Amino acid sequence: MSSASPYGSWPSPLSAADVAASSPRIEGARFVGDEVWWGETVPHEGGRTTVRRREGDAPAAEVLPMPWSARSRVHEYGGGAWTATDDGTLLFVEKSDQRIYAMRPGDAPRALTPPADDTRYGGLTWQQGTLIAVQEVHGDGPVPRRALVSVGLGETSRVTELVADSVFLAQPALSPGATHLAWVAWDHPHMPWDRTEVRVGRLEEGTVIEWTTVVGGGAAETAPLQPAWLGPDDLLVVDDPTGRWNLWRVHLSADLARRPVAPADADTGGALWGLGLRWHTPISGGRIVAVRTDGADEIAIVDAATGAVAPVSTPLTSDVNIEDASGSRVLVTGSGAEVSAGLWVLDADRPDVLVEVAGGRAPWGREWMPRPQSERYDGPHGVVHAFRYPPTNPDVVGPDDERPPYILFVHGGPTGKVGPAASARIAYFTSRGIGVLDVNYGGSTGYGRAYRERLRGQWGVVDVDDVIAVARGAAAAGHADPARLAIAGGSAGGWTVLCAVTRSDVFAAGISRYGVADLRRLAADTHDFEARYLDSMVGPLPEAEHRYIERSPLSRLESLQTPMLLEQGLDDLVVPPSQSEAVRDALAANGVAHRYLAFEGEGHGFRRADTVVQTLEAEIAFLGSILGFTPAGSVDLASV
């Protein structure tokens, strides 16, 4: 029988250290012969990314040993930091110097690219015996030069430029016979979810000699992504002329005739924040395995010829990516309400069997994991989507006369999304009697172009109105105590947190992780990938400078009256520490309760186990001190 105890004070077996170690962060996966190889962050080793391998049921073995770390800094967010040849040579970008290295398991890595402080690589793919990568060269100007390159594997390796036709290039795909190259391209001021082109170029002597745009461009504003070849003249892409990213076939020999493949009111595609993202892959038998997203993710097998769709029943509902394919087998990453983040093998010939490779299991029982409730709230700009996770503890219930405190999670991007999957971080709070609302505010992906474009020119307005609407709606429905609502988010989510607490009195506490506080400072300081992002989110400078000033929390210093916990990586180049420090100073000047935690060696997003532990323990202690409960086993906030 469960006993009653005040919300927020429930004893829980989920420690902050458990959360830090609970689920691996998978960084790509690949079939290599009979083995599966995958990248995985190791929080207790400083957050480095290793590469592991496994055959069948055998224990996993490490391919990339300490101190090596596979991590790219192209676009600052990286992605595609490693791949492997078919016979088992690891090819990776080393975090410390951004050079590409090759190594056989058990041997020492050897550099394939020359030392250069101004050059980075990412988006590595091994195709038809060729290593292709995105090269980013930083010079004196604000815009780096980017190119698709091939990199030789010999002792005297050569880097050959394939094409450099735009500011940004991604997702290269070699045609059968390596006669043509397809890729995604876009230029400032666009982002890759706003307006892109898929281009195809003819290869001659290892370089593109001429190319043409086959999808996108012109008057239509669409964002085609991820080209893949179904045949020498048959290209598969995702594009969104209907408002949803769907699969399309483009016939290059028929005046670029195109037709949809299994159109749906769901997205096969998403925001291209990382160079390694993939949402579909052709497999044997003329089939395609694809992710479809409408709030939640699902996997489907599509007949490329007829468009017939066979949905696959899996427990994966969030952050699902198609990593690689071999015959009928597909490597899939993701998470769900029943499984933690992990890596699985899906065989399209036996789709009822999902074989776990890495992760997928929490060290505690399912009874501790809250069930996501998909909810819709009415906001001033339309319906707002969210997932609600009620307090969940098999041993404790709350008092009959008390409603629980809730914390709203605001994802980053802002063109990101969350799905219905109870993470260890969420369970850390819900198991202690604190509910969680994970909000997909207007601007989020996963609901079509119209929903994500609600934020055009309205960042700091629509997102703020939406999180306030969700908070008030949850309180009005009786789910949450209206006097004990908190809000937390990182990066763009931190911006929404700061805007929400300065524009309303709905929230009793806020937690901002490396949050944006001053738009003009962000426009001046941020890196090239997002250098023009604010053109669409707020307006171009200098014409829209009044909006930058009016919306920024630091323009309303007197409104910073809500207790705040601020967390910041000191190596962050996306949102520099100066932003959080300015908020700290304003809170101190206003005499408002606050705490500022700064972390050496952390960038934009925390990877180290000790950082995750310290922030989680600080957050629960901070919430208890502000919302009026005593967390079981809590550390003293002053000691954090």
Q: Kindly report, residue by residue over 33-54, the tens digit of the pLDDT.
A: 999 999 999 988 888 999 999 9
Q: Per the domain annotation, does 10 fall within a domain?
A: no
Instruction: Provide the 3-class DSSP secondary structure of residue 499.
Output: helix
Q: Are residues 515 and 588 both part of a single domain?
A: yes
Query: Which domain-ending residue is among 271, 294, 325?
Result: 271
What is the DSSP code string of 83-104? Answer: EE-TTS-EEEEBTTT--EEEE-
pLDDT tens per residue across span 115-159: 999 999 999 999 999 999 999 999 988 899 999 999 999 877 799
Which domain CATH number covers 546? Answer: 3.40.50.1820
**Do 310 and 334 belong together in one domain?**
yes
Residue 636 belongs to a domain: no
Indicate whether this model's pTM tops 0.85: yes
Burial zone of 115 (CB within 10 Å; 0-12 exposed, 13-18 middle, 19+ buried): exposed
Instruction: Report pLDDT for 447.
Output: 97
The answer to whether position 140 is within a domain reads yes
Q: Where are the beta strands (DSSP E) in 252-317?
A: 257-261, 280-283, 287-294, 296-303, 309-312
**% of the chain with per-residue pLDDT over 70:** 99
pLDDT score of 526: 82
> Both 177 and 208 in a single domain?
yes
* pLDDT confidence of residue 543: 96
- Give the chain's mean pLDDT: 94
Q: DSSP of 556-584, one letter per residue?
A: -GGG--S-EEEEEETT-SSS-HHHHHHHH
Where would I find the H helices in 490-561? 492-503, 519-525, 533-537, 545-551
For residues 558 and 489, membership in a common domain is answered with yes
**637 occurs within a structural domain:** no
**In a domain? residue 206:** yes
| pLDDT grade for 639, boundaries at 50, 70 and 90 | low
Question: pLDDT band at residue 287, thresholds of 50, 70 and 90?
Answer: very high
Is the Cβ–Cβ distance between 580 and 597 less than 8 Å? no
Residue 4 lies in a domain: no
Q: What is the structure's pLDDT at 599?
A: 92
Main-chain phi, psi angles of 537, to 5 degrees: -80, -30
One-letter amino acid for residue 360 of the chain:
G
**Does residue 610 sit in helix, strand or coil?**
helix
Residues 332 and 428 in one domain: no
479 and 542, same domain (yes or no): yes
Q: Could you give the C-alpha distances from 61 to 21, 37, 153, 482, 499, in angstroms and in order? A: 18, 9, 24, 50, 46
Domain of residue 527 covers 364-627
Banded pLDDT at 440 (limits 50, 70, 90) = very high
Tokens of 186: 């876009």
Assess whether the previous peptide bond of 189 is cis (omega < 30° from 0). yes
| pLDDT value of residue 463 | 97
Residues 352, 387 within the same domain: no
422 and 515 housed in the same domain: yes
pLDDT digits (tens, 9 = 90+) for 499-550: 999 999 999 999 999 999 999 988 888 889 999 999 999 999 999 999 999 9
Answer whether 88's CB lies under 8 Å from 104's CB. Answer: yes
pLDDT digits (tens, 9 = 90+) for 58-111: 999 999 999 999 999 999 999 999 999 999 999 999 999 999 999 999 999 999
Within this chain, do residues 353 and 369 fall inside the same structural domain, yes or no? Answer: no
Using the 3D structure, point to which of 317, 332, 361 is the last residue of a domain: 361
* 11 located within any domain: no
Q: What is the model's pLDDT at position 609?
A: 83
Contact 603, 572 (CB under 8 A): yes
Is residue 473 domain-shared with residue 349, that is, in the same domain?
A: no
- Give pLDDT, residue 22: 76
Domain presence at residue 530: yes
- What is the largest distance, in Å, between two alpha-carbon atoms of the chain? 76
* 353 and 385 assigned to the same domain: no
CATH number assigned to the domain comprising residue 138: 2.120.10.30
Instruction: Quote the pLDDT of residue 254.
Output: 76
Q: Does 468 lie in the same domain as 352? A: no
- Asked if residue 640 has pLDDT above 60, the reply is no
CA 87 vs. chain centroid, Å, equals: 30
Number of domains in the chain: 3
Give the residue among 442, 441, 595, 581 at the shortest CA–CA distance from 517: 581
CA–CA dist 268, 387 (Å, integer): 21
pLDDT in tens, 259-277: 999 999 999 999 999 998 9
Instruction: Identify the domain boundary among 271, 299, 322.
Output: 271
